Amino acid sequence: MYPAIAAYWLLSILVSIRPDWFLFVQGVPGRDKLLHFIGASLLTVILVSGSTSLALRRRAFGPFLLLAAVALLVTLEEFTQLAIPSRTFDLFDLGYSYAGILLFGLPALWLKRMQASAARRPDC
């Protein structure tokens, strides 16, 4: 779980300090929004799949707290761009990140709960 968060932040830092490494995506239309969507989606799925089912069942809002933590992480990442001259803060980028969290996080939570309930059922 922590390696996924570290990888997300490392990639964000690399984009800031070494933009020349990412020139291969320059020709992709909407690349910035797409990368925000994909990055937040992957981070969400990795964190949900890496969480224990006990942590998700412990509280009624446990699964949504996990999604809220991912949303907080991507929000902080976007706001740090205000302090980095080579980066641009954009609320639309944040919206695409939130869309990735919702569109991939909710089905990932559902699958995690289905796996947990199947594991608790005795085989017939």
Position 94 scores a pLDDT of 95
Position 58 scores a pLDDT of 63
Burial of 21 (0-12, 13-18, 19+ CB in 10 A): exposed
The percentage of residues in the chain with a pLDDT greater than 70, rounded to a whole number, is: 86
Q: Each residue of 82-99: pLDDT tens digit?
A: 988 878 899 999 999 999
Q: Each residue of 35-50: pLDDT tens digit?
A: 889 889 988 988 888 7
Name the pLDDT band for 13 (thresholds 50, 70, 90): confident
b/e for 35-63, b at 16 or more Cβ within 10 A?
bbbebbbebbbbbbeebeeeebeeeeeeb
